[in-house]
Amino acid sequence: MKISVIGAGNIGGNLARLLVKAGYEVALANSRGPASLKSFVDELGNKLHPVDLENAIGYSEIIILAVHWRVIDSLPVFNKVNGKIIVDTTNPYKDDGSFYDLGDDISSSKVIKHFPGGTVVKAFNTIWFKHLEETGNIKLPVEERRVIPLAGDDAGAKLKISKLINEIGFGPLDTGSLKDGSKLQGVQGVLYNRELTVKEAASIISKLK
């Protein structure tokens, strides 16, 4: 299976490594161009494909957006993503480390505008990059693994991303619709940046109902 990752920083780079290790073919793109990604090829071999942004969009039906939320508006609007899943890993942080108060809006709204026709799933935004790098464990039962919550409005898309999360050693937890789940997963949410198992996270959510 093929996956595209846009952004080669702490989250995008670690996801590329985990996905290649899990057997995926990964197209990786960043703002500096394919030549800047040679170190990833040297590290990961021929399953890692450095590409430009347009080729990343066309490469796969699953596109992981792993850039800073504050730079999304500098991206073009991608009009050829109908039927594709866009995994939004972003959080609305400012340069100084504080975050934007979005009120009743969610950070994925900006992603939706740049990927019209795509199906957005919120995931990988609750975990510190070092924990993403180090805490996946395929040998553990799913309910005992470090949780990766995900939210979205399309059940089929969430199942595909849940499978991906399983295969890189974490445990998926569906937090509901894109809007409701994003509130739980966002920077002020009960699941944000917490070292929780799937079982623990599910218990926290159940108590809110």
Output 102-106 pairs: Cβ under 8 A, ≥24 positions apart: 106/178, 106/179, 106/182, 106/183, 106/186
Instruction: Report residue 209's pLDDT band, with 50, 70 and 90 as the boundaries.
Output: confident
Can you give the pLDDT at residue 192? 97
Can you give the pLDDT at residue 35? 94
Sheet strand arrangement including 85-88? 48-50, 25-29, 2-6, 62-65, 85-88, 119-123, 147-152, 171-174
Average of per-residue pLDDT across 144-157: 98
Is residue 75 pLDDT above 90, yes or no? yes
Percent of the chain with pLDDT over 90: 95
Mean pLDDT of the chain: 96
Can you give the pLDDT at residue 107? 95
The pLDDT tens digits for 7-46 are: 999 999 999 999 999 999 999 999 999 999 999 999 999 9
Angle in degrees, CA 124, 203, 125, rounded to 5: 10
Can you give the pLDDT at residue 1? 85
Q: Give how far Cα 144 sits from Cα of 19, 83, 132, 167, 207, Å.
A: 21, 33, 15, 15, 19
Q: What is the pTM of this model?
A: 0.96
